[in-house]
Amino acid sequence: MFTKLRTAKWLRIASTADAAEVGFAGRVASVARVHQDGLRDRATPSAPEVRYPRRALLGFTSADRERVRNLLLEYLTG
């Protein structure tokens, strides 16, 4: 259902000298947040409020986090 949402068309990036962010903007951001966190929302303003199940749309897997940690440690230890 959300495979197209992960494409570059919907992702927005922002960066500074200290940080980088990847995320969504506008209505897409609202829909993504509701589904990512399992929040309540209405499909239309007159529809009943529904609690959506939590779905991981974006994020790091355990293997991703371990790889980043290992690369960081390797970089810091020289």
pLDDT at 13 over 80: yes
In whole angstroms, give the CA distance from residue 32 to residue 48: 19
Q: Which two tokens stand for residue 29?
A: 């951001």
pLDDT at 1 over 70: no
pLDDT, residue 71, reads: 95
The predicted model scores a pTM of 0.59
Residue 32 CB-density burial (10 A; 0-12 exposed, 13-18 middle, 19+ buried): buried
> Stretch 19-30: mean pLDDT, rounded?
86
What residue segments make up the domains of the chain, in order of their start?
4-77
